[in-house]
């Protein structure tokens, strides 16, 4: 699982390899948020919520300007949540996206990454994206450490407030004994959004997969 994932391919400079997006959700951070999943991840965690986002193929190459327009034209959102897949595999493109969006709207940025913050701080390109993130949830998903805490998959995943934007709401939203989820219809597919508990995930996988 090499560091090369943090060196974006040339076509990721002005486009993002996108798995899918949800214009409005309340299950991936505080307040109403636009959320999107990037395509491709080097970790392949057992029990991954979005295994279809692990491979480099299968996503959609979307121009940064197009995704920025979708975000900016979504009403009432306070922020943006970026997950995947592995966001830091497309660090350069995501920096451009955030910069473009924030020229118009001061949206809060939350990112889920399989890399730990300590690792990201010494990897090329990662520091530039870290500078634009308000809240980072780091670490790979470990099924044996799934303790039911809200907005993180397992207890090894830590929440890092990289700015003060969400400092007063972290304790009310992360690691609590609740896991709300939403069901969204995306084209011809149905998507479970949020961090479900074991039983919710089992029922979902049994009925829809």
Helix (H, G, I), strand (E, B) or coil at 130: helix
Q: Respond yes or no on whether the N-terminal peptide bond of residue 85 is cis (omega within 30° of 0).
A: yes
State the pairing for strand pair 108-113/79-83: parallel
Distance between CA atoms of 102 and 120, rounded to whole angstroms? 23
Q: Give the separation between CA 141 and CA 48, rounded to whole angstroms.
A: 7
Look up residue 132 and give its DSSP letter: T
CA separation for the pair 127, 197 (Å, rounded): 32
Report the candidate in 86, 99, 90 with the shortest Cα–Cα distance to residue 9: 90
Q: Judge if pTM exceeds 0.75.
A: yes
The predicted pLDDT at position 57 comes to 86
Contact residues for 51 (Cβ-Cβ < 8 A; gap 6+): none
Report the distance separating Cα 115 and Cα 56, nearest Å: 18
Residue 181 has what pLDDT?
64
How much is the pLDDT for 204?
Answer: 45
The DSSP annotation for 42-87 comes to S---TT-S-GGGSSSSSSEEEEHHHHHHHHHTSTT--EEEEESS-G
Q: To the nearest 10°, report the CA torsion of 99, 117, 180, 56.
A: 70
- Domain limits, the chain: 3-208
Half-sphere exposure at residue 81, Cβ-oriented, CA atoms within 13 angstroms: 25
3 state SS of 101: helix
pLDDT in tens, the chain (209 residues): 455 566 555 556 799 999 999 999 988 899 999 999 999 999 988 888 788 899 988 899 999 999 999 999 999 999 999 999 999 999 999 999 999 999 999 999 999 999 999 999 998 789 999 999 999 999 999 989 988 787 888 899 999 999 999 999 998 888 777 666 656 566 666 665 656 555 555 554 455 45
> What does the block give as tokens for 165?
């934007």
- Measure the CA angle with vertex 140, ends 136 and 143; round to 5°: 125
CA 51 to chain centre: 14
What CATH code is assigned to 3-208? 3.20.20
What are the backbone angles phi and psi of residue 64, rounded to the nearest 5°?
A: -55, -40
């Amino acid at each position: 699982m090499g560091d090369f994932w943090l060196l974006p391919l040339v076509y990721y400079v002005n486009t993002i390899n996108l798995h899918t997006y949800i214009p409005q959700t309340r299950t991936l951070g505080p307040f109403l948020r636009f959320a999107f999943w990037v395509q491709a991840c080097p970790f392949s965690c057992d029990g991954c919520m979005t295994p279809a986002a692990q491979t480099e193929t299968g996503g959609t190459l979307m121009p940064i300007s197009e995704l920025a327009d979708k975000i900016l034209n979504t009403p009432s959102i306070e922020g943006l949540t970026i997950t995947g897949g592995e966001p830091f595999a497309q660090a350069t493109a995501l920096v451009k996206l955030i910069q473009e969006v924030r020229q118009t709207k001061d949206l809060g940025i939350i990112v889920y990454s399989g890399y730990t913050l300590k690792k990201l701080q010494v990897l090329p390109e990662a520091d530039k994206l870290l500078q634009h993130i308000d809240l980072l949830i780091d670490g790979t998903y470990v099924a044996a450490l799934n303790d039911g805490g809200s907005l993180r998959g397992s207890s090894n995943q830590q929440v890092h407030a990289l700015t003060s934007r969400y400092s007063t709401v972290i304790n009310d939203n992360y690691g609590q004994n609740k896991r709300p989820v939403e069901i969204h219809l995306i084209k011809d597919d149905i998507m479970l959004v949020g961090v479900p508990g074991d039983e919710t995930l089992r029922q979902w996988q049994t009925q829809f997969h």
